[in-house]
Amino acid sequence: MALVFSGCSQKQAPHYQATDITGADYARDFRLTDQTGKVRTLADFRGKVVAIFFGYTHCPDVCPTTLSDFAMAMKLLGKDAARVQVIFVTVDPQRDTRSVLAQYMPAFNPGFLGMYASPEETAVLAKSFKVFYQKQPPDARGNYTVDHSAGTYIYDTQGRLRLYMPYGEGPHAIAHDISLLLRN
């Protein structure tokens, strides 16, 4: 009988919508410049849940959809949104300059940060995050797209990598998982 009741008192593990990657040995940290010109690392956001997405501002679909989903999730979180930092890391630093990111990010949420590094630093960072990206050949007018991974990494308030949110999960799933991380 004691065994039956002892199982009831154990804390249930949270049920995330995203993939739980707690303990992963990659995507540990970053050193990037944000759209205000400030150099940031993951430690700067201790006490907040941090969501990091790699993309580019000229992206026709995945990037604006993901940022819109996170913006809607922040609304669903209400006052808890103040304890969340969404970070967009460009994989196209040639076009996504500080001024471009400063105009792009507030269109989704004034608290979202756009971050960049040199092309060489971006390549090293993307590899450490297991993020794929590849610039496509430009068209006759010089326009090009960049193929890239489409998921978001989410860290808990202690700066530990916890979740990988696949593209297209939607704002309710994002808000659900962030709420769980804020409570634990």
| 172 is annotated as contributing to ligand binding | no
Q: In what order do the strands lie in the sheet with 19-20?
A: 19-20, 161-165, 152-155, 49-55, 84-90, 113-116, 31-34, 39-41
| 148 is annotated as contributing to ligand binding | yes
Query: What is the C-alpha to C-alpha distance for residues 131 and 154, in angstroms, rounded to an integer?
Result: 14
Query: What is the C-alpha to C-alpha distance for residues 58 and 67, in angstroms, rounded to an integer?
Result: 13
Query: What is the C-alpha to C-alpha distance for residues 131 and 149, in angstroms, rounded to an integer?
Result: 6
SS3 for 173?
Answer: helix
DSSP per residue over 62-123, as a string? HHHHHHHHHHHHHHHHGGGGGGEEEEEEES-TTT--HHHHHHHGGGT-TT-EEEE--HHHHH
CA 100 to chain centre: 19
| 176 is annotated as contributing to ligand binding | no
The annotation places the binding site for Cu cation at: 59, 63, 148
The annotation places the binding site at: 59, 63, 148
